[in-house]
Amino acid sequence: MIIGGHLSTKEGFGKLPEIAVGIGFNTYQFFSKNQMQWKSKPIDDKSAQEHIKNMEKFNIIKPAIHASYLLNLGSPEDSKREQSYSAFLDEILRAEKLGVEILIFHPGAHMGSGTKKALDNIIENMNRAIEETKELKVKLTVENTAGQGTVVGSTVEELQYIKDGIHTKARIGFCIDTCHAFQAGYNLNEKYNEVFDEFVSSLGKDMIVAFHLNDSKPPFNKHLDRHEMLGKGHLSKEFFVNLLTDPRWKDVPLYLETPEGEEGYPKDLDFIRKLGIKI
């Protein structure tokens, strides 16, 4: 199993591998910059090299960067969309510099302009970013959403629409957040096989490159993005067993984003072990 959690970078990028292994992880996710600010401080060569060196030293598999929460590639406002595009491009270059190939981002929100317009804007900007970073390997990884407000990308149809619009499919992937999927109306408790068969047949198994492993604080289908500690929310034990023993996801990294963060991850790992699953 490839499992990690979202980690803070307060001790520097180079420390992340050691912190992850200390918790019992073999991967992790992080922000390469303050996720609530547009500006970013350039990454110096030394700390990038240290990160890459320590990833190898600690045998880290498939780490990910989560992009800024401010990005909205689907915004109907030209200036907001351009600002998002520049920040997105910066995120791709930072990921490449840090040796990270999975860049997870929220597709965006239509802000009243309608879902199709937003999806078309997202596709256009993803194609543009891929074109502008042709020589890079970073995968632009779209995260499914809970469908709160005017946010797009909560249904498999919308995610497939994005996939279909991308010219270079080798440069994209999808990250399935289990809390978001459940909140968006996919009943992972009752219909595990049906739901994942649908995701796989619409997106392709190899397009699913990551999971956000979160329990759901609200009950089913409320379109609310509120994570809970594993075992403390509305997702069932059976669901976690199904997901964590599904051979299709053996090599797909799972990142925890549970509310207690680094303090709470040992409890999440314990929950998994108590299901009888070896980590």
* Residue ranges binding Zn ion (CB under 5 A): 143, 225
Q: Are 31 and 9 in contact (CB under 8 A)?
A: yes
When the beta carbons of 48 and 104 are compared against Zn ion, the nearer one is 104
Task: Report phi then psi at 211, rounded to 5.
Answer: -125, 145
Long-range (24+ apart) CB contacts under 8 A made by 78-87 are 81/121, 81/125, 83/38, 84/108, 84/125, 85/125, 85/128, 85/129, 87/38, 87/40
When the beta carbons of 203 and 256 are compared against Zn ion, the nearer one is 256
When the beta carbons of 215 and 225 are compared against Zn ion, the nearer one is 225
Q: How far is the CB of 45 from Zn ion (least distance, A)?
A: 28
Contacts of 235 by beta carbon, 8 Å cutoff, 6+ apart: 178, 179, 182, 188, 189, 215, 216
Q: How far is the CB of 50 from Zn ion (least distance, A)?
A: 26
Q: How far is the CB of 137 from Zn ion (least distance, A)?
A: 21
When the beta carbons of 48 and 67 are compared against Zn ion, the nearer one is 67
Q: How far is the CB of 191 from Zn ion (least distance, A)?
A: 21
